[in-house]
Structure 1
Amino acid sequence: MTSRLPHSSHWGAFTAEVHDGRLVGVLPRPGDPEPSPLLSGIADALHADVRVAAPAVRRGWLEQGPGATSERRGADDFVEVGWDRALDLVAAELDRVRREHGNPAIFGGSYGWASAGRFHHAKTQLARFLNLFGGCTDQKYNYSYAAASAILPHVVGTGGPTAGEVTSWDVIAEHTRLWVMFGGAPLKNAQVESGGITRHSAAHWLRAARDNGTRFVAVTPIRDDVAGFLDAAWLPVRPNTDTAVMLGLAHTLLVEDRYDRDFVARYCVGFDRFRRYLEGADDGRPKSAEWAAAIAGIDAGALRDLARRMVAERTMITSTWSLQRADHGEQPFWMTVVLAAMVGQIGLPGGGFGFAYGDTAGMGNRRYPFPAPALPAGVNPAGSTIPVARIADMLLHPGEPYDFDGERRRYPDIRLVYWAGGNPFHHHQDLNRLLRGWRRPETVVVHEPWWTATARHADIVLPATTTLERNDIGASSRDDAIVAMHQAVEPVGQARHDFDILAGLAGRLGFRDAFTEGRDEAAWLRHLYERSRRAAARNGAELPEFDEFWARGHADVPGTRSFVLFEAFRSDPAAHPLRTPSGRIEIFSATIEGFGYDDCPPHPTWLEPAEWLGAAQAARHPLHLISNQPRTRLHGQLDMGRVSRDSKVNGREPCRLNPSDAAARAIRDGDLIRLFNDRGACLAGAVLTDAVRPGVVELATGAWYDPREPGTVGALDLHGNPNVLTADHGTSRLGQGPSAHSALVQAERFDGDAPPVAVLRVTPVSDEGKTDGADGS
């Protein structure tokens, strides 16, 4: 018997085709103009042989107790146990750590994309559980745009413009005539959206803008960061030099008296201080087009011509999230705003600035004016957080002080890590450093459907269901529909929902009723949907009742008006001030000046990254590594799927490099190569292309970490995970974001015997001590 059920994913809404209880097909949602090819990998992931079959405990931890043999994480084998025993062990550890060390000693970061479903969203489920348990140490901001989230409130009073509050696509398509894209607008990233998407429309809108006369300039080391059909002019800058390029553009506008004096005077503060820096009044270095071109490795005349064009026509200036995932990542986002202010078109249709177009599928869509269905997580009573990317610092340096956005803080002493719905051995930088820190906690608990690197480095692994094994609601506030996610198959192996796992633990710890509120899955879905439906009604939007929504498989969200970023502020800055100290755009920030950070001055500044092609280190490691988002996965998700598998070269992640760099190293297309620096080394498959600037190598993130000697610091990664190479330090003391894109490497042909990649194959577990006990939770 074959059935077809509505469902959704980060790659888009779809229909699940199920035959005799097994998923046999995934059909894109009708009406999606450009469905993601990644949908085809969902069935592969569901039935992959790397599924965690049953609760499993690392042998050393099980036999010798918490804190014992932690150096064996990643190398030890696992013992399968029954659910009752697994939950008893976890509950006892949570209780012990809370009693002996306090709730801040529990790290509940669980950072990751988790599920498109809003109820079974693992991070939210875990946060709700730990908050009711008394709290934990959590993470602030995210890896995608942490530095931007820190700097923009100081500049424009809100982080909204980097999280989706940007001028809408329809306005750009109608009014923008020149679009200057720092980092491009990579459509590969627009395949995905947290919460799902029913229409992949970014390519449609880019074509509409092109057809309406928009011209594009891509400022990026990688030519195909912008779609080929846009015929964009390419400025192949050195990585990490975007701030210098923008300063060169601004200097041209200044010295040629082309900048908008009236806009700067009325809507901004601090320009005079910034002007001194542009002119080189204090350091003797005017930030001219020639100065910028020398840093970026491009033509000065091209910069001057671009500056003149920007003020001659309606211009949109955008930057991708990737720019600020680098040393001093706050600076290019701040400078994007300042350059747009000098052009003078902020608040005008099709002009001004924006961030992250093309970075996710919904960017540029207008948010609907009511909250999407979401499980409430509550408030963390422990009040303990760290910047999202400072995990290894926290684990390696408990009690040590650090600076963060004007605050002086101390790292907590973590004794228990509880992770659900994420994979730090994918997201985090310098995995060898993380591995050293990961040995310090006494216990690591992980919920995971698959034997990812994080699961393999845990002490207790609890098998979690995937979205197709449960009912849920898919929703993104940047989409035009809410999707009913019907359960398609029974849970694989002994997998359980995160909600059921945590309810079982809450029962053992005495707060099950508070956690569940007396609702099961079906009751929660109805409750969350109806709460959103009532909120929609208060905002003039009508949604069907739950039963109709569930039967139909979706609820269409009424369309919303076009949007221009800061339109109201431009029309009347007194009536609609920004939430900055001055109420205006802060080109110079007295607040940041008061912090006294030498790595984040009080106005946009060119600060040399620790690693870039102009650094002394480039003599030994002369290639700049770009570890961007993959075309064939979402981060590390679906690496076992057919799209990702088919992209591998000799079973390794493809590494793109310029033919001139390859020739200098006797590397041919398809060769196995070794990338290395002082932090680590990995293998990859060479792909030669002139779309990558000379001096740059591109190795996408997401290949599952697979060290030749598991659990060993410094072991060669066999699969091509770039985070054995990336640097782990904060963008600055202000933002403390990740600096993954400031990394220099060397490459060489690998001629030795390379063991096969093992991480995507099943990890054997002993059945010693296995029971079939059911918990009934």
Structure 2
Amino acid sequence: MKKLIASRVGAFYYENNKITPFEYDEAPTELIQNYKSRINHSSRIKNPCVRKGFLNGDKNRFNDEFVEISWDEAFDLIAKNLKHYYEKYGSSSIYAESYEWGGVGKIGWGRMLIHRLINTLGGGVFELGDYSTGSAIAAMPYVFGTPTVYERATDFKEIIRNAKVVVFWGANPFVTSKIAHDIPMHEHEKYLKEIAKSKEVIFIDVRVNESAKAMNAKTLIPNSNSDMAMAIAMCNYLYVNNLYDKEFIANHTTGFDEFRDYFLGKVDGINKDLAWASDICGISEVELKNLALKLKNNPSNILLGRSIQRQLNGEFNYLAIICLACMCGHISKDGLGIEFNLSSGCKGESAKNTESLKNINSLLGEIKGQNHYIPSSRLNECLLNPNSTTTYKDELIKYPDIKLMINACGAYFTHQPDSNESLKALNKLDCIITLEPFWTSLAKFSDIVLPVAIEGERYDIEQSTNKEILFALKPIKEPFYNALSDFTICKEIAKRFNKSYEFCKDLDELELVKMAYLDIAKRYEAKGICLSSFDEFLERGYEKVQGLSELEPYTRFKNISKINLIIKGKIAKYEIKDELASKYPLFLISAHSPYRLHSQLHNSDIRDSENNLEPVYLHTDLAKQKGIKTGDIIRVFNDRGELLAGARVIDDINPKSILIFQGAWWDKCDNMCINGNVNVLTCANPSSSVSNSNTAHTCKVDLEKFQGNLNQEIRVFKEPKIIKKPL
């Protein structure tokens, strides 16, 4: 019998080691094929393990052996360490932040459960903002008065009805919407294809990305990190030529005069005109002028990607483009203006009067301990400099003195910048506890490692991105070796503190799944919509809600009153400092990979590679200059570290930039990563004092053809040395 599995890359059926897409997925992605090799992959963790040196107090974690232990021994050891640090140092010594992804589900999502567990035990250290939108999530409330980043996006249907020109700026939706936090049905693709057929579509990116090719769209290829200069100069052009929407600026913005004085050069004597920007971005004055005129003179919408704000002064990169959109005057008009949430997660799909599933916190009540917070990309800084200070939204924050880290699906080395600095920072910790299905780089660097069940091995409940389908996650096979779900692990740890009732009312996963289903069924019943019984839902594996009606068309900022063009007293200013002024000549772009979900799926059989290494994409002219051809092994380096990658020579990338997709697992060999983990090279400098967020896309490097012999075995997908427990 075919077994339905739901995941963050889509739903699919699994039968006799064959994958077939779920019938309601409108554009199934090839990523579902990863499951076959992942579920029984050799890199899966088979039993709970403790690092051998940890047992005798040795903190030298690199290349240490592990000792298999029983689950009871693991739970007791974890409880002993947590109790010790809570009693001696308090909740500020416990770091309990995991990253956003991992396994899917409203009951069993690892990050949510670790948060709940630590709050149940007394609290810990958590993050402000996130890596995806760290600059924007801190800054946009000052501009619009609302969170804006993750709010409901303008309907694609409204853009199709009303826009003539659509600009995707730093966005690659065909790739970044392959995945979602819930179960993607990929409905958005048909809208993107309709936009491609009926609108003038322009992409702005340092390369012709996958979406631009799929939409057969024109691409402007600027120099990296020049987005702000482009936007400022187009604002200058519209103002000087009296082409901007004076009424919108006067009635719906504040702070424009300060910005105007800056771009006219009244502040520093530099007129930020098209010639000024052209020298910076490498786009001709004519093309910049034409883009400004197209945006102003046609019903248009600028769809921003998140890469723009993952740069130096990322908050103000967004702000400069918002200023441009304000001067064009289309904001608040149906389907027009600017949008922040249509480039990822299948947003903009048709919206109906659906209900949302409640998660464990909503069902049982949220728990709050004595918590402490740091900006999301500042953990290295915090660990290396405890009790020093930083800022978030320009408010002073004192770094706690963290002793213990507990995380689920954390993949620290593939999302925290500057891996070699991360190594030093993690060595400051007394104890690292990791819940993971696989022997990732962080798992190998941990002290206590617990094997986690993945989808197809545990119970949970989730819904599709358009909220029209409910999915029952259930075991289709026994968990791999000795794996347990994140839920079971956290409940067992809570038991050691006599707090399992507080954690989950002593319910099990299936009972909570049923509670969530009956809750949403009751809310649908109040609307006159009947769902199947829970037993029928569980048996079938999904419920497609019938009788839904379309919501009214939606445009973000439809009723906006004021847009503030100043963030904490600062306007959008283009500056060359820090990494931009580096001695290295090339920008390293670390975009989302079409072949994985951040670092997830990298250990699958369909992993993309060049000469068995992570690919590095470089322009034909740069390749000729360096004596490189496709397939060559390349050494990419800067002062922070170096990595090896396999060359792919292409024509449609900026000659001053190279591309290595983010998310490759770290395989350390001396100071070099031989598996292409870009965070060996990325810069840890913060965006600005507003968010103190990450600047992964402001990274300068150089490269050369690798002259050595790659004799070192690539061990990244192999388990460490393990002392097996007696049979």
TM over 0.5: yes
Question: What residue is the counterpart of 2:652 in the other structure?
Answer: 691
After superposition, residues 647-686 of structure 1 pair within 5 angstroms as: 647-686=608-647
Q: Which residue, 706, 709, 723 being the options, matches 1:753?
A: 709
> Contact 2:356 / 2:467 at 8 angstroms: preserved in 1?
no
State the alpha-carbon separation in 2 of the partners of residues 466 and 306 from structure 1.
47
Question: What residue is the counterpart of 1:112 in the other structure?
Answer: 100
Mark the CA change 1:566 to 1:52 in structure 2 (over 3 Å): closer, same or farther: closer
After superposition, residues 368-517 of structure 1 pair within 5 angstroms as: 370-376=355-361, 378-476=366-464, 478-517=466-505
State the alpha-carbon separation in 2 of the partners of residues 94 and 695 from structure 1.
49
Mark the CA change 1:442 to 1:695 in structure 2 (over 3 Å): closer, same or farther: same
Mark the CA change 1:91 to 1:567 in structure 2 (over 3 Å): closer, same or farther: closer
Amino acid at match of 2:398: R
Question: What residue is the counterpart of 1:14 in the other structure?
Answer: 12
Q: Which residue, 149, 158, 178 being the options, matches 1:171?
A: 158
Q: Does 1:57 align with 2:50?
A: yes
Shift of 1:642: 2.0
Shift of 1:364: 5.2
Amino acid at match of 1:624: F
| Structure 2 unpaired stretches of 5+ | none
Shift of 1:369: 5.7
SS at match of 1:467: coil
Amino acid at match of 2:674: L
Amino acid at match of 1:681: E
Mark the CA change 1:629 to 1:727 in structure 2 (over 3 Å): closer, same or farther: same
Q: Which residue, 724, 727, 736 being the options, matches 2:680?
A: 724
Cα deviation, 1:285-319, whole Å, max 9, x if unaligned, reads 12211111111111011111111121211100121
Q: Does 1:244 align with 2:229?
A: yes
State the alpha-carbon separation in 2 of the partners of residues 8 and 14 from structure 1.
7
Q: Which residue, 635, 643, 648 being the options, matches 2:606?
A: 643
Shift of 1:421: 2.0
Question: What residue is the counterpart of 2:578 in the other structure?
Answer: 610
Mark the CA change 1:142 to 1:410 in structure 2 (over 3 Å): closer, same or farther: same
> Contact 1:164 / 1:364 at 8 angstroms: preserved in 2?
no
Amino acid at match of 2:476: A
Cα deviation, 1:419-444, whole Å, max 9, x if unaligned, reads 11221111111000010000011100
Question: What residue is the counterpart of 1:630 in the other structure?
Answer: 593
Mark the CA change 1:244 to 1:51 in structure 2 (over 3 Å): closer, same or farther: same
TM-score of the aligned structures, taking structure 2 as reference length: 0.96
Question: What residue is the counterpart of 2:20 in the other structure?
Answer: 27
SS at match of 1:337: helix
Q: Which residue, 334, 348, 362 being the options, matches 1:349?
A: 334
Question: What residue is the counterpart of 1:577 in the other structure?
Answer: none
State the alpha-carbon separation in 2 of the partners of residues 432 and 663 from structure 1.
31
Q: Does 1:83 align with 2:71?
A: yes
Q: Does 1:121 align with 2:106?
A: no
Amino acid at match of 1:761: K
> Contact 1:677 / 1:746 at 8 angstroms: preserved in 2?
yes
State the alpha-carbon separation in 2 of the partners of residues 471 and 480 from structure 1.
20
Shift of 1:479: 4.0
Cα deviation, 1:182-217, whole Å, max 9, x if unaligned, reads 1133412221111211x21333111112222x1011
Question: What residue is the counterpart of 1:586 in the other structure?
Answer: 564
State the alpha-carbon separation in 2 of the partners of residues 764 and 363 from structure 1.
48
> Contact 2:461 / 2:473 at 8 angstroms: preserved in 1?
yes
Cα deviation, 1:613-634, whole Å, max 9, x if unaligned, reads xx3x2xx421100011111111
Question: What residue is the counterpart of 2:347 in the other structure?
Answer: 362
Mark the CA change 1:368 to 1:56 in structure 2 (over 3 Å): closer, same or farther: farther
SS at match of 1:135: coil
State the alpha-carbon separation in 2 of the partners of residues 74 and 364 from structure 1.
46
> Contact 1:674 / 1:749 at 8 angstroms: preserved in 2?
yes
Shift of 1:539: 6.7
> Contact 1:77 / 1:765 at 8 angstroms: preserved in 2?
yes
Amino acid at match of 1:741: H
State the alpha-carbon separation in 1 of the partners of residues 465 and 459 from structure 2.
20
> Contact 2:616 / 2:645 at 8 angstroms: preserved in 1?
yes
> Contact 2:180 / 2:344 at 8 angstroms: preserved in 1?
no
Amino acid at match of 1:760: F
> Contact 1:183 / 1:225 at 8 angstroms: preserved in 2?
no
Amino acid at match of 1:472: D
Identity level (%):
28
Mark the CA change 1:359 to 1:609 in structure 2 (over 3 Å): closer, same or farther: farther
Mark the CA change 1:503 to 1:38 in structure 2 (over 3 Å): closer, same or farther: same
State the alpha-carbon separation in 1 of the partners of residues 438 and 529 from structure 2.
40
State the alpha-carbon separation in 2 of the partners of residues 503 and 278 from structure 1.
57
Amino acid at match of 1:13: A
Amino acid at match of 1:301: V
Shift of 1:540: 7.2
Question: What residue is the counterpart of 1:183 in the other structure?
Answer: 170
State the alpha-carbon separation in 2 of the partners of residues 334 and 440 from structure 1.
38
> Contact 2:158 / 2:555 at 8 angstroms: preserved in 1?
no
State the alpha-carbon separation in 2 of the partners of residues 98 and 739 from structure 1.
34
SS at match of 1:518: coil
SS at match of 2:296: helix
Amino acid at match of 1:32: D
SS at match of 2:722: coil
Q: Does 1:325 align with 2:310?
A: yes
Amino acid at match of 1:676: F
State the alpha-carbon separation in 2 of the partners of residues 401 and 450 from structure 1.
35
State the alpha-carbon separation in 1 of the partners of residues 97 and 510 from structure 2.
27
State the alpha-carbon separation in 1 of the partners of residues 241 and 159 from structure 2.
28
> Contact 1:74 / 1:458 at 8 angstroms: preserved in 2?
no
After superposition, residues 129-208 of structure 1 pair within 5 angstroms as: 129-160=117-148, 162-197=149-184, 199-208=185-194
Mark the CA change 1:541 to 1:243 in structure 2 (over 3 Å): closer, same or farther: farther
> Contact 1:186 / 1:224 at 8 angstroms: preserved in 2?
no
Shift of 1:273: 1.8
Cα deviation, 1:249-281, whole Å, max 9, x if unaligned, reads 111111111111111111111222221112111
RMSD: 1.8
TM-score of the aligned structures, taking structure 1 as reference length: 0.90
> Contact 1:368 / 1:477 at 8 angstroms: preserved in 2?
no
Mark the CA change 1:718 to 1:549 in structure 2 (over 3 Å): closer, same or farther: same
Cα deviation, 1:483-522, whole Å, max 9, x if unaligned, reads 1222111011111111111111111111112112031111
Q: Which residue, 725, 739, 743 being the options, matches 2:695?
A: 739
SS at match of 1:643: coil
Shift of 1:568: 4.2
> Contact 1:116 / 1:475 at 8 angstroms: preserved in 2?
no
Question: What residue is the counterpart of 1:274 in the other structure?
Answer: 259
Q: Which shows bigger deviation, 345-354 or 224-233? A: 224-233
Shift of 1:611: 2.2
Shift of 1:225: 4.8
Shift of 1:640: 1.3
Cα deviation, 1:598-656, whole Å, max 9, x if unaligned, reads xxxx22221225223xx3x2xx4211000111111111111111221xx2112210000
Question: What residue is the counterpart of 1:218 in the other structure?
Answer: 203
Cα deviation, 1:213-246, whole Å, max 9, x if unaligned, reads x101111111125332433222111111111111
Cα deviation, 1:648-686, whole Å, max 9, x if unaligned, reads 112210000001111111111100010000000000000
